[in-house]
Amino acid sequence: MVDKTVIHSFGLPAESAGIPRLSLWDDNFLVAENHKGVLDVKSQCVKIYLKERLVGINGENLSISELDGCNLKIKGKILSIEYLT
């Protein structure tokens, strides 16, 4: 894995080095890049691994709309995002 400071020094996108990134579009669409797996999917909470951290996406009517390798799209009313570990 490449050091974060090297990535920023050269202006490279973080996702090119496997660094996880969450992108929230309004409050109804979230993209997780370079995730390490899905732990649980419920309509009120989706739990995913980002590197060695567990992240909870909380909301209403949540579902995974797309799962493509290490990229994941969640749709529904997103109310909060929190680190669980």
The pLDDT value recorded for residue 33 is: 93
Non-local CB neighbours of 57 within 8 Å, separated by 6+ positions: 30, 45, 46, 47, 48, 74, 78, 80, 81
pLDDT per residue as tens digits for the range 1-58: 556 676 667 666 655 667 899 999 999 999 999 999 999 999 999 999 998 899 999 9
Residue 18 in tokens: 């496997």
What is d(CA 45, CA 64) in angstroms, rounded to the nearest whole number? 11
pLDDT per residue as tens digits for the range 21-37: 999 999 999 999 999 99
If you average pLDDT over residues 52-77, what whole number do you get?
Answer: 95
Q: Which of 47, 44, 79 is nearest to 62 (CA)?
A: 44
CATH topology of domain 20-83: Immunoglobulin-like (2.60.40)
The pLDDT value recorded for residue 16 is: 60
The pLDDT value recorded for residue 3 is: 63
Where are the domains positioned within the chain? 20-83
